[in-house]
């Protein structure tokens, strides 16, 4: 009981000087102190006292003279480390309410959200959302490209590294790639915010930022063409077109003497690599060569 009382008073910082001296000489002092320090995220104390060090030396000498094998304390120490480690792991790295959906190269998929909104995800894309809080907070994170059909209800937010899209009930497409951010509204009203630029889009409006250059445009289609396995572009740098070709066919394209900053307007199918390459290279006066199943070389005009 005396030991327990001292431990309790020590934890509450209520020890007298004499009690502190006695407590510091206990066999379990160092072990108790380590537990407290670990609970502070392993941050070392900013102060060191000579009395503490002298007590440590006395305790160390006393321990070294003990001849019997004390197997219980090491076991308890190992158990405490394992418990702390497991607690950190399950707290930080597991969350059963967070849903993550992704597509690989040359893959598309359709998913349903808890409110029956639907998302068609393009190749090489990812979304994450919390299903438990979804009814109160319709919010998800997107990397890549996806076409949304949002059920009417509370505000619906799509968060990307390039900007935030906010709607209530509508259909729209978001493309958030490396230097490419584009939102196309097909139905309803969409509010887009990227850095200092905020716009409200109506059906048929396009919001686009490529290489930090902002532009707006109009569309006539009622859904993105990639949903029907065809990519389309309007005044887009050739580099972005090549990136999309690589995603849709899971190929690596190397360019030789080709200006990737030239603007391309047109499209290509997703089901035939030869036709896709012809659709891209012919209007740009380029040639191509397929060297293997996943290697393509595109040549520029050498004249």
Annotated domain spans of the chain? 2-92, 115-226, 229-299
Residue 302, pLDDT score: 60
- Provide the whole-model pTM: 0.68
Q: Is the pLDDT of residue 233 over 70?
A: yes
In whole angstroms, how far apart are CA 145 and each of 76, 142, 150, 179, 182? 51, 8, 16, 13, 9
How many of the other CB atoms lie within 10 Å of CB of 158?
26
Q: Tell the CATH topology of 115-226.
A: Jelly Rolls (2.60.120)
Dist CA 127 CA 237 (whole Å): 26
| CATH 3.55.50.30 is the classification of domain 229-299 | yes
Q: Give 19-64 pLDDT, tens digit per residue.
A: 666 667 666 667 667 666 655 554 444 444 445 555 555 555 555 4
Q: Which of 17-21, 169-173, 186-190 has the lowest mean pLDDT?
A: 17-21
Residue 74, pLDDT score: 59
Q: Give 104-136 pLDDT, tens digit per residue.
A: 999 999 999 999 999 999 999 999 999 999 999
Dist CA 153 CA 176 (whole Å): 25
Dist CA 47 CA 255 (whole Å): 62
The CB-side HSE value for 253 (13 A sphere, CA atoms) comes to 25
Buried/exposed code over 131-154 (b: 16+ C-beta within 10 A; e: otherwise): eeebeeebbbebebbbbbbbeeee
Dist CA 75 CA 97 (whole Å): 35
């Amino acid at each position: 009981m005396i030991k327990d009382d001292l431990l309790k008073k020590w934890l509450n910082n209520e020890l007298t000087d004499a009690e502190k001296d006695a407590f510091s000489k206990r066999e379990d002092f160092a072990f108790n102190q380590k537990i407290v320090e670990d609970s502070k995220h392993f941050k070392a104390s900013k102060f060191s006292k000579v009395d503490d060090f002298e007590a440590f030396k006395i305790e160390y000498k006393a321990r070294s003279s003990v001849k019997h094998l004390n197997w219980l304390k090491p076991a308890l120490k190992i158990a405490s480390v394992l418990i702390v480690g497991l607690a950190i792991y399950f707290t930080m790295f597991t969350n059963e309410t967070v849903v993550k959906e992704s597509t690989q190269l040359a893959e598309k998929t359709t998913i349903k959200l808890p409110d029956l909104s639907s998302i068609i995800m393009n190749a090489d894309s990812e979304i994450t959302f919390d299903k438990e809080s979804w009814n109160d907070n319709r919010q998800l994170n997107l990397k890549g490209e996806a076409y949304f059909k949002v059920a009417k209800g509370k505000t619906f937010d799509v968060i990307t590294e390039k900007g935030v899209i906010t709607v209530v009930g509508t259909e729209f497409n978001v493309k958030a790639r490396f230097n490419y951010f584009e939102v196309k509204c097909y139905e309803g009203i969409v509010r887009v915010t990227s850095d200092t630029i905020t716009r409200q889009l109506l059906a048929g409006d396009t919001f686009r930022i490529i290489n930090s250059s902002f532009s707006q445009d109009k569309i006539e289609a009622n859904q993105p063409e990639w949903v029907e396995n065809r990519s389309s572009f309007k005044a887009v740098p050739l580099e972005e077109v090549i990136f999309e070709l690589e995603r849709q066919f899971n190929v690596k394209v190397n360019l030789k003497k080709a200006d990737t900053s030239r603007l391309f307007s047109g499209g290509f199918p997703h089901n035939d690599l030869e036709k896709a390459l012809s659709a891209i290279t012919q209007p740009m006066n380029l040639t191509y060569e397929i060297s293997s199943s996943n290697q393509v070389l595109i040549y520029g005009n050498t004249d």
